[in-house]
Amino acid sequence: MKRILIFSLAYYPSFVSGAEAAIKEITDRIEKEDIEFHLITLLFEKHAPRNDVVGNIIVHRVGFGGGYLSKILFIPLAVLTARRLHKKNSFDALWSVMTYMLFPVVLLKLSGVQVPHVLTLQDGDPYEKVFSRWFIRPVTPILDYGFRNAEVIQVISTFLSDWPRRRGSSAPVVLIHNGANPRDLKETYSPEEVEALKIKLRKKPGDIFLVNTSRLVHQKANDDILRALALLPENIKLILVGSGPDEKMLRELTQELHLTERVMFIGQVDRKEVTNYRMASDIFVCPSRSEGLGNAFLSAMASRRPVVLTQEGGIADYLFDAKRNPGVPTTGFAVDKNSPEQIADAVTFILGNPEKVNVVIDTARKMVEEKYDWDVIAKEMRRSVFEKVF
């Protein structure tokens, strides 16, 4: 049996997004007798256990709660914890998930723990933001060391595939996409639960629900959805499933645009429940300003919901628009970033052309089934990434 130590700033049950879901979906599909996974993450909630088992991962939480000081101290605490765990378990490989998780890995190796490491790039921010912020520039040599000395680098989209070369790395780069939520893809949701949710959300005959199940952050452009909603008929409403630092601003904008009766802020819900919100809605909308891939968007396609997205970053790998990508089977409806009018136009087109939309929905669903199934992805990770370091 091999052992891998994973570094991820966040992990279940708190602040779960695409990267954390990817870790769990992959590791849950690898036999414990094959690879034993440990993971070091930040203790966001003081009542959470320091040591825990989540799926196939033994989780070790460090820090003093999710405050600023705790985040600052995460790197040295993660290094100290990793040294202690390595003495006990003798890890065969280290796995950094997201660029900044190279910090503890590099410092650990410089402290004398010479174990090969894998880097997974899941970053949704633009390259310049990741590497050029004033407080990051002085420490980019640490990141560059991590890029240059990785055994293999996995990227989840074409958008991220040139980052290693730009950081001076000659390590093999493997493109393995993330997948859709299995509950959407395998259609294991309960129609009764979906109908009950529609009643809870007070969905009336004739209502059209737009939905976004992404975090409430600037990157996801929920403000543009609100501005688009103001341009659409009153029977069209918006469900925002998720939490984040933009919530206060978005609530204020909702009031400013006189949309309080048409917008519902659901907050954070368990990932298993997110499928029900997608199924209770009619159109998935997320005009991202930047995106590493967009697991939630693939899940919406798996749920057979038409999607209105930009083609920023990794979205361009799977969102093909009839006008913008002629000759390629259409999988959704593309808009420019920062364009509420285009969002409103796309929603209007979808509602007015059900037959054409059904063809798009079927095409998108088939694509997700063939290319974005976690069962296939986990096998590819085992064969093309983990075997490279053993």
Residues 73 and 98 in one domain: yes
Residues 195 and 287 in one domain: yes
Which 3-state string (H, E, C) describes 128-177?
HHHHHCCCCHHHHHHHHHHHHHCCEEEECCHHHCCHHHHCCCCCCEEECC
Q: Is the pLDDT of residue 245 over 80?
A: yes
Q: Which residues contact 220 (CB under 8 A, 6 or more apart)?
A: 212, 214, 286, 288, 289
d(CA 106, CA 111): 9
Tell me the pLDDT tens digit for each residue of 205-239: 999 999 999 999 999 999 999 999 999 999 999 99
| Surface-to-core class of residue 69, CB atoms within 10 Å of its CB (0-12 exposed, 13-18 middle, 19+ buried) | exposed
Q: How many structural domains does the chain have?
A: 2
Q: What is the pLDDT of residue 122?
A: 94
Q: Is the pLDDT of residue 72 over 90?
A: no
Q: What is the pLDDT of residue 49?
A: 92
Residues 60 and 132 in one domain: yes
Q: Is the pLDDT of residue 66 over 80?
A: no
Domain that holds residue 251: 182-371
Mean local confidence (pLDDT), 364-371 = 96
Residues 16 and 138 in one domain: yes
d(CA 332, CA 364): 7
Residues 322 and 339 in one domain: yes
240 φ, ψ (degrees, to nearest 5)? -110, 110
Residues 245 and 382 in one domain: no
Are 357 and 331 a contacting pair, CB within 8 Å? no
Residues 262 and 120 in one domain: no
More confident residue, 15 or 181: 181
Residues 164 and 20 in one domain: yes
Q: Is the pLDDT of residue 101 over 90?
A: yes
Residues 168 and 93 in one domain: yes
What value does the mean pLDDT of the chain take? 95
Residue among 231, 272, 234, 266 at smallest CA distance from 250: 266
Q: Is the pLDDT of residue 180 over 90?
A: yes
Tell me the pLDDT tens digit for each residue of 15-54: 788 899 999 999 999 999 999 999 999 998 888 899 999 9
CATH number at residue 233: 3.40.50.2000
Residues 45 and 173 in one domain: yes
- My answer on whether omega of the bond before 13 falls inside 30° of 0, hence cis, is yes
Q: What is the pLDDT of residue 65?
A: 77
Residues 36 and 172 in one domain: yes
Residues 56 and 205 in one domain: no
DSSP 177-203: -----HHHHTT-S-HHHHHHHHHHTTP
